[in-house]
Amino acid sequence: MNESLISLIGIYFLGYFKFIAGPILVPAAGFGVGTTIFITVSSMMSSVFIFTLIGKKFKKKLLLRFRKKKPVFTSRNRKIVTVWKKYGEIGIAFLTPLILTPIGGTLILVSFGSKKRRIYFHMFWSALFWATIFSFSIDKLLQIPILNSLLG
């Protein structure tokens, strides 16, 4: 296999867990904006599809394995519920690439009982929006001569 294809596959799998991996690592591997957006969106959506399908089962297993006497209403949980009450699925999907991970955002939407079709739709537009913003921003930053000389 080609080295560039192997690096793209590795970046694709990293994107399952952290959205920003795609927009940072794909240009570092020498690919353009289009490839960056495609790899970033496809890796996030693959993660969303997998964890939407196994989300409830995964959450139960995870809770059984790691459940300790933790308080239910932590400050993090309160913030998530506040975002959910104010903005709903759209707010969680919008914040997923920025604050949450693709897995975290998907599990939150699944746990609040969102329909799979709506999860896929909202996560897709969010991934496409943020991948485009990040990809073009990083591309423009790499065109600055001093930054390009430091990195290249």
Q: Going by C-beta distance under 8 Å and a sequence separation of 6 or more, which residues neighbour residue 53? A: 116
Question: Residue 53 above 80 pLDDT?
Answer: yes
What integer pLDDT is reported at residue 72 of this predicted model? 66
What integer pLDDT is reported at residue 86 of this predicted model? 85
pLDDT band at 57 (very low <50, low <70, confident <90, very high): confident
112 three-state secondary structure: coil
Question: Residue 58 above 90 pLDDT?
Answer: no
Question: Residue 62 above 70 pLDDT?
Answer: no
Residue whose token pair is 């409830």: 56
Q: Going by C-beta distance under 8 Å and a sequence separation of 6 or more, which residues neighbour residue 99? A: none
Start-to-end C-alpha separation, the chain: 25
Q: What is the pLDDT of residues 104-134, one digit of tens each?
A: 888 888 888 889 999 999 999 999 999 999 9
What CA–CA distance (Å, rounded) separates 108 from 111? 5
Q: What is the pLDDT of residues 134-143, one digit of tens each?
A: 999 988 988 8
Question: Residue 151 above 70 pLDDT?
Answer: no
What CA–CA distance (Å, rounded) separates 105 from 99? 9
pLDDT band at 23 (very low <50, low <70, confident <90, very high): very high
